[in-house]
Amino acid sequence: MVTDTAVIEAAAAIQSAQEIESALADKQASVDRKIEKLRADFQRDNAEQIAQAADLRQQAQALLSGRTTRKGKKPSGGEVSEQAVLADLSAHPEGTNGTDIAERLGANPVKVRAVLKNLTETSQAWERGEARGKKFYPSEAAANAAS
């Protein structure tokens, strides 16, 4: 036979179980919110890192796609005129090399060397030395014209 005490104890056990169930549900909801926050933070951080990696990849491709000068500057591809090269030569009568002229003019060293070759062939400039030691000088007529 069921006594009043047994019914009270059963009711108390049910109530206790419901309280535990409610506390567990609250704890689960709290854990779910924390997981969702971590997931959102991870996605945001991941998106930032992907953007940074893309920027770094672009910078690396830019560095690898073109040559750089001795001072680490990427030469421009702009045209260079004979007058600009002659003016630079006249400003450096002690002699200068093609790479330095290109750096000062912001021009491509290959294009500057082509202009220097033409200037020496037309006697508007002269050269001394070979390979990396080669220096260019203005001819007297070119130096006087620039003065």
Cα distance between residue 131 and residue 112, in whole Å = 15
2 and 47 in a single domain? The answer is yes
In which domain, by residue range, is 99 found? 82-146
Q: Which of 40, 65, 90 is the last residue of a domain?
A: 65
86 and 133 in a single domain? The answer is yes
Estimate to the nearest angstrom the gap between the alpha carbon of 37 and the chain centroid.
32
Cα distance between residue 84 and residue 119, in whole Å = 12
Q: Is 12 contained in some domain? A: yes
92 and 140 in a single domain? The answer is yes
92 and 133 in a single domain? The answer is yes
Cα distance between residue 40 and residue 64, in whole Å = 36
How much is the pLDDT for 77? 57
134 and 97 in a single domain? The answer is yes
Cα distance between residue 120 and residue 97, in whole Å = 13
56 and 109 in a single domain? The answer is no
Q: 71 and 103 in contact (C-beta within 8 Å)?
A: yes
Instruction: Output the six-digit token pair for 114.
Output: 């082509």
114-135 tens-digit pLDDT: 999 999 999 999 999 888 889 9
Count of domains for the chain: 2
Q: What is the mean pLDDT of residues 30-44?
A: 92
42-57 tens-digit pLDDT: 988 888 888 888 877 7
Position with higher pLDDT, 71 vs 92: 92
83-93 tens-digit pLDDT: 999 999 999 99
How much is the pLDDT for 69? 46
Q: Is 77 contained in some domain? A: no
108 and 140 in a single domain? The answer is yes
Q: Is 39 contained in some domain? A: yes
Cα distance between residue 147 and residue 90, in whole Å = 8
Q: What is the DSSP letter of 107?
A: -
Cα distance between residue 127 and residue 134, in whole Å = 7
Mean pLDDT of the chain: 83
Q: What percent of the chain has pLDDT over 90?
A: 47
101 and 142 in a single domain? The answer is yes
108 and 61 in a single domain? The answer is no
